[in-house]
Structure 1
Amino acid sequence: MKNLLAFLLLLTTSYISAQITIQGKVVDEFNNPLPFVNIVLKKTNYGTTTDDDGKFFLKTQKFRGVLEVSFVGFQKQTIKVNQKTKFLNIVLKEESNELDEVVIVTKPKKRLKKEENPAYKILKEIWKRKRKNGLDLVDHYQYKKNTSIEIGLNNLDTVFLKKIFKNEYQQAIKEVKYDSDGINYYIPIFLNEQVANVYGDNKNNAVREDIEAEKSEGLGAQGFIFDRMSNTFQNIDVFKNNITLLQKPFISPLSSDGFSTYDYVLYDSIVDNNKKLYNIYFFPRRDGDLAFQGNVWVADKNFSIKKIKMKVHKSVNLNFVRGLSFEKEFEVRNDSIYIPTKNAYEGDFTFIDKNDSNKGLTIKKDITFENYVLNKAFPKSFYEQKVEKIRPDQYKKDDSYWETVQKEQSKKTYKLIESVKKKKQIKNLTGLINTVASGYVDTGAGFQIGPLWTLFANNQVEGFRTKLSFRTFVTKDDRFRLGGHIAYGFKDQKTKYGVEGRYLLSYKPRIAVGVAYQKDIEQLGSSLLNTTQLLGTSFGTAAVFNRGDNFYLSNVEKIATNFDYQIQQNLHLGINFSHAKISSASEKDFSMNYIDENGNTQSKLTDVASDIYVSFTPGRFVYGLGVERRFGKNVFPTFVLNYRKGYKGPFNGTHNYDKIQFKYNQPILLSKFGILDATFEAGKTFGEVPVALLDVVPANQSFSLVKDTFTLLNYYDFVTDEYLAGHLEHHFNGYILNRIPLLKKLNLRSLVTFRAAYGTISKENIAISRSNVNYNAPNKLYYEYSVGLENIGYGNLRFLRIDAVWRSNYTPPAGSTVAPTPKFAIRIGIKPGL
């Protein structure tokens, strides 16, 4: 009996293990799903057909076989399957599409010259016409645009799913999606959908976009990872020579300079709806170059683009990025006009490294264009009206609306998100990502603690310093935000603190106000111009390790207010008012003394001042509708003009003065050679003021790199009332090191910098000083230059940058209490980046 039971059990086990469960999707060559396709396991009775989305599910008692896929008008396809087969992406070719004269060109082992490459003639025609074809050829157009952005966790196995769903696992496994590889699972955690109507007037170069409806569901995500990734996919214009992606210039495969970056292969040609199409594949010439891999379908005669698929080559040095893919489809009308019908972007991001076995984040952005109407004109005033989203709930629609426009797949996704967002494991995982990315720990009570990296510091006045900061945070669209900190120095045994509140008074026009109070120690002169920062924060009191001694710190007790008015997107007018009591934090080592108008020596001052500023950042991508805006990872210039007025008398102010300052920052994309980040500053102070109110050339005595500061200067080495400063920093993005055989495997990136300052100080300001700071101005140009390596680390954790820095000849004047500065130094920067 025991033997019989064992034999039956063995038969049963073998029978169960011999089953095949296969899922898949069938599409045509243009990625359109094919319904009612026959799926049959040959020589068996097992078979099924695809649904409306081209998907199928087949379960058999066999453990291997040959799957036959057939559909009328398409070529039959056979595929060998076994127990390891989980998911199949099947592409069927139309029988009528095949030509007798199919041109097939394999990628040559030896690179072909342009004139010898069959693809070159076609690309030349694209270059001639790419500015002429398309919607630009009609005077007016309109269409409906549907956009969805989905964020999810990918590469999940059944063990992970069982931990999440527990008793609901059996039901959940039927609803959870597969990854694109069809092996592991994917769980959506956020979905945003938007319906908009777009109207264009080419005669006056005007575009109006009216949002009709918007809907979001999912976990509230914030921080570097989610913010950067969810906004990675802006409009990718493949017709431009350079495509800016993650602040890096990628060469477009349709660039007129493409042959210096890509190898092109004319693969074949087909006929689609009586139009001949050429299929051209493109590959990066060198691994590591900022380039794509993919293929493009080009229409004959007018040489417009029917479809393009491309992905970032796996060798490209992008941290956190395991994969990025883009797909665009166009409809050709009248042999001259092509209109976009679909954009599909997908990114796969991981935290530790790019290993295929690691869990990650998937970001999907899909845009469909429909209901085109060409050459129907509206009055000119219609196109000039801008309909802006100003409130988070402005375009919220009820369920009855979405029932009519939403696809069945989106409904399933929302239902799944509703289920998983409440799961403890998912909330903990996304919370961990947010903490690592932003530095803030969410308490779950509407406020966060952080950033964690400012917890500890060290300086000569306070000794070991600890600082605990907080902020209120419900969503990224909070209309009111309160933040602050409390700090303690173990040497001076004093408690310091600060608190700041901001409120959005009006959505349109956008008006924000803020008020702050602080009683803390500051490193004055750590930056030359700052318009909206109310609470003082400086690296001089935040660094753990510093070069030399620094007693040049100030006690600052300040009340400050800010009024910010948005004239238009990225153009702001603001007014600040502040009342600050300033004195030395270590009077025996650092004197801030000055002579007042009565000839008396004073050690303290009260600065009562107002600021009027204009800030202009054209092209900056701004999102979020709360009092604190968020900014995308795009390239844009910055112009800031500030006028400051000091008042003597009111509120016990001690000094009258005027100060005007200007700052201009311009990142410049230099194609495949990288990006140059250029900053220029200038300012002048009118009136007699003590050292606390003068402009100090920003020095940096910490061992870390700080933007727009001078590494080899001591604090207060240069004091001015009139200055010019420039900072040039060029990042090669791996262009040089990717060409060195032994180094390119390390994924390092090189950079060079040049910084310079020039300034003067008046005799009047020197005359009233009784400070032990020597008023030395850089009336001979002072400069520093460096070479460096960045992207140092392991896997995706490549936060380190190392610079070797040199300076021009500079010697402190005789009698100066400032210690000599080094002529050369190695400095380290820590910055997460892609």
Structure 2
Amino acid sequence: MKRSLLFIFFIIGMVVYAQTKVSGIVLDEEGEPVAYANVLFKNTTEGTITDEDGRFYLESEENYTVLSVSFIGYTTEEVELRQRVTYNLEVILKEGEQLDEVVVYVGKQSKKNNPAIDILKKIWANKRINGLKKFRQYQYDKYEKIEFDLNTIDSALMKSKMFRGLEFIFADLDTSRITGKTYLPLFLNETFSQVYGDNEMNLEKEEVRGSKNSGFSNNQAIIGFVDDLYSDYNIYDNYIKLVDKSFTSPLSQTGINTYNYVLADSAYIDNKWCYHIIYYPRRKNELTFKGDFWVNDTTYAVKKIDLEVTKSANINWVKEIYIQQEFEVVNDSVFLLKRDYLMSDFSFSKKEKSKGVYGKRTTVYDHYKFENPRPEEFYKSVSDPYDPSIFQRDSIFWKNNRLESLNKDEQGIYTLLDTLKTVPKFKTYYNLVSVLGSGYIEIDKWNLDIGDIYSTFGFNDAEGIRLRGGARTYFGQNDPWRLEGYMAYGFDDHKFKHGFSAKWLLDRKSRLIISGGNRRDIEQLGINLTATNDVLGRSVASSAVFTVGNNNRLTNINLSTLALEVEPFTNLRFRFGGSFRTLSSALPEAFSLDYVDPGAPTGISSEIRQFDLITTLIYTPGKRTIGYGVERRDVNDNYSTLLLNYTKGTQGFLKSDFNYEKIQFSYSQPWQIGGFGRLFSSVEIGKTFGAVPLGLLNVVPGNQTLFSIFNTFPNLDFYEFVTDTYVSAHFEHNFNGRLFSRIPLLRKLNLREIVGLRGVWGELSDENIALSSPTNIPLVAPDDKIYWEYSLGVGNIFKIFRIDFNFRGNYLDNPDARPFSVTGTFGFNF
């Protein structure tokens, strides 16, 4: 009996752990790699295609013994797999005919007689009546897990000084089924939610029922980072947005000009007859995928699709991106998304052996229900996503609602991270990464952050060398209140400066916040059309180490603010407040803010005292945030911003100098122009009613720094144009390398083209000119014609640098006019 029981356990163990893994390279008879060859386990639909170098990795939970390798123009090769794991396999394809039963399309020949494209056209015709669009109302359960893993673990890494004392974390390692690399799980987040939708009202809402994190209390920032990178996508759309780039979908109506399609096979999948189509890009260096999909022969709904970003795609810091979607057949005509798997391999290098981090997102959908109408109020009522009970679900809840079981490595992450947090060396690494990412040094025992470290050093003509240090309270990212301040010292003017801010969240539901503060510092006010009310911020022009010409038009500012802010509806904010400021020149011999003041002993005043009442409306449709404290973090950047600002200057109160009114409106919007890149646009208009001196007028933002700063004019000096009425527009388009990818000598450099166009028109009344007439700056507005500039830029130089060549369109007769300038900027962009 014991032997029989042992035998049964042995058989069960063999079944549970049966697995086939195979990797290798496909070559032709000349020894050249065969890119995009089809690699399948024989008589199955489980497979992959080779990359540009002919390499592949394939894994299955089943036990297979034969591998089938094929490509158009070559005979099919069948390779016997003598063991469960076979690495570094070399497959030679011989020239010959293949798939005699179908007509196939190869290369860049005519598209007219390609059956794969005929099928593709039928997919387009049916895509709007497939899936959830077939129903008036729908609901389903959604389970999502996000995971980060350290990959390409080898013995050298395990024995390195970095992991000395941390060897226990390598006790359990697994191998990626996509790349075949060994990896170590480091982070896991699970979320279960229920989604409701109404296609007639075009409304949808998602209610989170449970959320569980491994690791650290601040890991909502990691989740937000992943959500921003992997925004929701639809394979039927023309473009799929990943890591801030738009990739042409293989199901796109523009795909014919982007991809090669091959009808490779047909077979039954879940009792539905499906066509198998392989696709791969026509050109290198474009934002494209390679892979295959299976499509039903009657509904032309996709049953399964694999998408892998090509290695030559113009994208930084990402070695691989892989997507797999599987659809469930509900009845004869309904295909619904069942599982969505996305994996990215983040790495500094795209070399095969380079180490990196996997970012993985798995989403499972189940329990679909239809035709259950709900009132519009149901969709507009939003539950509290930060209800503490959501984050305290027990094991029974997760057992019942986890739509996909965790594997043994994922189960071990919770224990591993709890252990790691107790290891001093790991805490040191974590703190170092945290400092570089946030700019603040955490002092946990005082609940204080020191920083930010990136504002420590500066230089300008008034202060000379400037040093700054600051701190803020920080108990956690959801703090209901925050205090923050800084001190600075200039070694030329021998003066201390300071800034202090306090914020308090009075009501979480309406986002009612009271804030206030004071700043006494030196500022370059000619960098913005809107007056600053930030008691902590400082423009880059105020501390630029290198500038074009003299950076001496600086202002002493003593600013105090008090404001109340509320968000009655999502992304719609109202702010009511007041500010009191005193303004004077920081370098009177070079720059004057003097104005005519009959009440002054000399008839001239050099200091402006002004109290303003300010009402602001800010609308940011589509903006997503995380956190519920007084400060939240944005998780996307593809939303528009509409701002309406009304300022009422009150004379006499606190000895304020001027009565005036000012109204300003701005609209900014990023536009994803399909495969042609991204356009950033902004439009701003404003008008001041009443007589005010230079310090309260609207200065057209020049830029004398060497940095490229959006919404400024790099060929204008500070205060070159001054207005009381203005209209301004800025446009900047990044083609993301679409043009350079077609130039052979530039293709491999992965450079990106940026073009810019900007203009401003404004006028200045005679009354305002006369009020500030003693100034040594000529008060001129671009009222004769629109002042405009254009720029041509090259980005992604060494992956981190961008350079812009800026040209002035007119007003070349202005004193010291700069017809040309070169600016640049550094940044880590995908």
Question: What is the DSSP-based 3-state SS (H/G/I as helix, E as strand, rest coil) of the residue aligned with 1:131?
Answer: helix
Classify 1:481/1:321 alpha carbon distance in 2 versus 1 (closer, same or farther; 3 Å). Answer: farther
2: CA distance, partners of 1:134 / 1:475: 42
Of residues 363, 367, 371, the one that matches 1:367 is 363
Classify 1:247/1:625 alpha carbon distance in 2 versus 1 (closer, same or farther; 3 Å). Answer: same
Percent of matched pairs sharing the same residue: 35
Are 1:238 and 2:239 an aligned pair? no
Aligned to 1:397: 393
Counterpart mapping for 1:183-582 below 5 A = 184-219=181-216, 228-229=225-226, 231-350=228-347, 352-379=348-375, 381-390=377-386, 394-406=390-402, 407-409=405-407, 410-445=410-445, 446-529=447-530, 533-582=534-583
Question: What is the DSSP-based 3-state SS (H/G/I as helix, E as strand, rest coil) of the residue aligned with 1:735?
Answer: coil
1: CA distance, partners of 2:708 / 2:463: 22
2: CA distance, partners of 1:26 / 1:512: 58
Q: What CA deviation, in whole Å up to 9, does each residue of 1:468-527 have, x standing for no partner?
A: 243344443333333332221111111111122223222212222322211110111311
After the TM superposition, which of the residue ranges 147-156 and 184-193 deviates more from structure 2? 184-193
Question: What is the DSSP-based 3-state SS (H/G/I as helix, E as strand, rest coil) of the residue aligned with 2:364?
Answer: strand
Aligned to 1:729: 732
1:193 to partner: Cα distance: 1.0
1:224 to partner: Cα distance: 9.5
Question: What is the DSSP-based 3-state SS (H/G/I as helix, E as strand, rest coil) of the residue aligned with 2:392?
Answer: coil
2: CA distance, partners of 1:748 / 1:101: 40
Are 1:823 and 2:823 an aligned pair? no
Tell me if the contact between 1:751 and 1:787 (Cα under 8 Å) persists in the aligned partners.
yes
Aligned to 1:50: none
Tell me if the contact between 1:644 and 1:660 (Cα under 8 Å) persists in the aligned partners.
yes
1: CA distance, partners of 2:545 / 2:712: 18
Tell me if the contact between 2:229 and 2:244 (Cα under 8 Å) persists in the aligned partners.
no
Classify 1:391/1:528 alpha carbon distance in 2 versus 1 (closer, same or farther; 3 Å). Answer: farther
Gaps of 5+ in 2: 1-15, 23-37, 42-59, 68-77, 90-97
2: CA distance, partners of 1:279 / 1:193: 33
Are 1:111 and 2:113 an aligned pair? no
Tell me if the contact between 1:456 and 1:544 (Cα under 8 Å) persists in the aligned partners.
no
Of residues 788, 794, 800, the one that matches 1:789 is 794
Classify 1:233/1:566 alpha carbon distance in 2 versus 1 (closer, same or farther; 3 Å). Answer: same
Question: What is the DSSP-based 3-state SS (H/G/I as helix, E as strand, rest coil) of the residue aligned with 2:469?
Answer: strand
Classify 1:536/1:234 alpha carbon distance in 2 versus 1 (closer, same or farther; 3 Å). Answer: closer
Aligned to 1:45: none
1:765 to partner: Cα distance: 0.9
Classify 1:508/1:697 alpha carbon distance in 2 versus 1 (closer, same or farther; 3 Å). Answer: same
Aligned to 2:25: none
Q: What CA deviation, in whole Å up to 9, does each residue of 1:155-214 have, x standing for no partner?
A: 233444456776784x65443333456765423332211111122222322223221111
1:771 to partner: Cα distance: 2.0
Number of matched pairs: 755
Tell me if the contact between 1:390 and 1:508 (Cα under 8 Å) persists in the aligned partners.
no
After the TM superposition, which of the residue ranges 212-221 and 549-558 deviates more from structure 2? 212-221
Aligned to 1:79: 81
Tell me if the contact between 2:131 and 2:334 (Cα under 8 Å) persists in the aligned partners.
yes
2: CA distance, partners of 1:86 / 1:405: 38
Classify 1:87/1:756 alpha carbon distance in 2 versus 1 (closer, same or farther; 3 Å). Answer: same
Q: What CA deviation, in whole Å up to 9, does each residue of 1:12-70 have, x standing for no partner?
A: xxxxxxxxxx98745999999xxxxxxxxxxxxxxxxxxxx9489xxxxxxxxxx8599
Tell me if the contact between 2:519 and 2:559 (Cα under 8 Å) persists in the aligned partners.
yes
Q: Which amino acid aligns with 2:115?
A: P
Tell me if the contact between 2:146 and 2:223 (Cα under 8 Å) persists in the aligned partners.
no
Tell me if the contact between 1:208 and 1:385 (Cα under 8 Å) persists in the aligned partners.
no
Tell me if the contact between 1:153 and 1:361 (Cα under 8 Å) persists in the aligned partners.
yes
2: CA distance, partners of 1:429 / 1:105: 58
1: CA distance, partners of 2:666 / 2:377: 36
Question: What is the DSSP-based 3-state SS (H/G/I as helix, E as strand, rest coil) of the residue aligned with 2:768?
Answer: helix
2: CA distance, partners of 1:374 / 1:337: 12
Question: What is the DSSP-based 3-state SS (H/G/I as helix, E as strand, rest coil) of the residue aligned with 2:679?
Answer: strand
Question: What is the DSSP-based 3-state SS (H/G/I as helix, E as strand, rest coil) of the residue aligned with 1:128?
Answer: helix
RMSD: 3.2
Aligned to 1:631: 634
Aligned to 1:97: none
After the TM superposition, which of the residue ranges 284-293 and 153-162 deviates more from structure 2? 153-162
1: CA distance, partners of 2:211 / 2:83: 43
1:249 to partner: Cα distance: 2.2
After the TM superposition, which of the residue ranges 712-721 and 326-335 deviates more from structure 2? 326-335
2: CA distance, partners of 1:87 / 1:473: 52
2: CA distance, partners of 1:85 / 1:426: 36
2: CA distance, partners of 1:436 / 1:424: 19
Classify 1:413/1:488 alpha carbon distance in 2 versus 1 (closer, same or farther; 3 Å). Answer: same
1:85 to partner: Cα distance: 5.3
Tell me if the contact between 1:480 and 1:504 (Cα under 8 Å) persists in the aligned partners.
yes
Classify 1:803/1:525 alpha carbon distance in 2 versus 1 (closer, same or farther; 3 Å). Answer: same
1: CA distance, partners of 2:542 / 2:615: 28
Tell me if the contact between 2:535 and 2:559 (Cα under 8 Å) persists in the aligned partners.
no
Classify 1:281/1:423 alpha carbon distance in 2 versus 1 (closer, same or farther; 3 Å). Answer: farther
After the TM superposition, which of the residue ranges 294-303 and 451-460 deviates more from structure 2? 451-460
Classify 1:687/1:54 alpha carbon distance in 2 versus 1 (closer, same or farther; 3 Å). Answer: same
Classify 1:253/1:622 alpha carbon distance in 2 versus 1 (closer, same or farther; 3 Å). Answer: same
Tell me if the contact between 2:209 and 2:390 (Cα under 8 Å) persists in the aligned partners.
no
1: CA distance, partners of 2:395 / 2:17: 32
Are 1:766 and 2:782 an aligned pair? no
1: CA distance, partners of 2:184 / 2:476: 22
1:144 to partner: Cα distance: 0.9
2: CA distance, partners of 1:359 / 1:479: 40
Of residues 747, 758, 777, the one that matches 1:744 is 747
Q: What CA deviation, in whole Å up to 9, does each residue of 1:650-708 have, x standing for no partner?
A: 22222111110111112222222222211111111111111111000001111111111
Tell me if the contact between 2:147 and 2:187 (Cα under 8 Å) persists in the aligned partners.
yes
After the TM superposition, which of the residue ranges 629-638 and 251-260 deviates more from structure 2? 629-638
1:378 to partner: Cα distance: 4.1
Classify 1:529/1:553 alpha carbon distance in 2 versus 1 (closer, same or farther; 3 Å). Answer: same
Aligned to 1:63: none
Aligned to 2:693: 690
Classify 1:131/1:183 alpha carbon distance in 2 versus 1 (closer, same or farther; 3 Å). Answer: closer
Classify 1:533/1:772 alpha carbon distance in 2 versus 1 (closer, same or farther; 3 Å). Answer: same
2: CA distance, partners of 1:471 / 1:327: 44
Question: What is the DSSP-based 3-state SS (H/G/I as helix, E as strand, rest coil) of the residue aligned with 2:526?
Answer: coil
Classify 1:832/1:206 alpha carbon distance in 2 versus 1 (closer, same or farther; 3 Å). Answer: same
Are 1:718 and 2:721 an aligned pair? yes
2: CA distance, partners of 1:534 / 1:829: 26
Question: What is the DSSP-based 3-state SS (H/G/I as helix, E as strand, rest coil) of the residue aligned with 2:757?
Answer: strand
Classify 1:235/1:741 alpha carbon distance in 2 versus 1 (closer, same or farther; 3 Å). Answer: same
After the TM superposition, which of the residue ranges 239-248 and 213-222 deviates more from structure 2? 213-222
1: CA distance, partners of 2:679 / 2:609: 41
Classify 1:718/1:176 alpha carbon distance in 2 versus 1 (closer, same or farther; 3 Å). Answer: same
1:719 to partner: Cα distance: 0.9
Question: What is the DSSP-based 3-state SS (H/G/I as helix, E as strand, rest coil) of the residue aligned with 1:784?
Answer: strand
Classify 1:250/1:181 alpha carbon distance in 2 versus 1 (closer, same or farther; 3 Å). Answer: closer
Question: What is the DSSP-based 3-state SS (H/G/I as helix, E as strand, rest coil) of the residue aligned with 1:387?
Answer: coil
Q: Which amino acid aligns with 1:579?
A: F
2: CA distance, partners of 1:168 / 1:458: 44
Q: Which amino acid aligns with 2:152?
A: N
Of residues 127, 131, 134, the one that matches 2:128 is 131
Tell me if the contact between 1:520 and 1:556 (Cα under 8 Å) persists in the aligned partners.
yes
Question: What is the DSSP-based 3-state SS (H/G/I as helix, E as strand, rest coil) of the residue aligned with 1:115?
Answer: coil
Classify 1:523/1:215 alpha carbon distance in 2 versus 1 (closer, same or farther; 3 Å). Answer: same
2: CA distance, partners of 1:208 / 1:652: 52
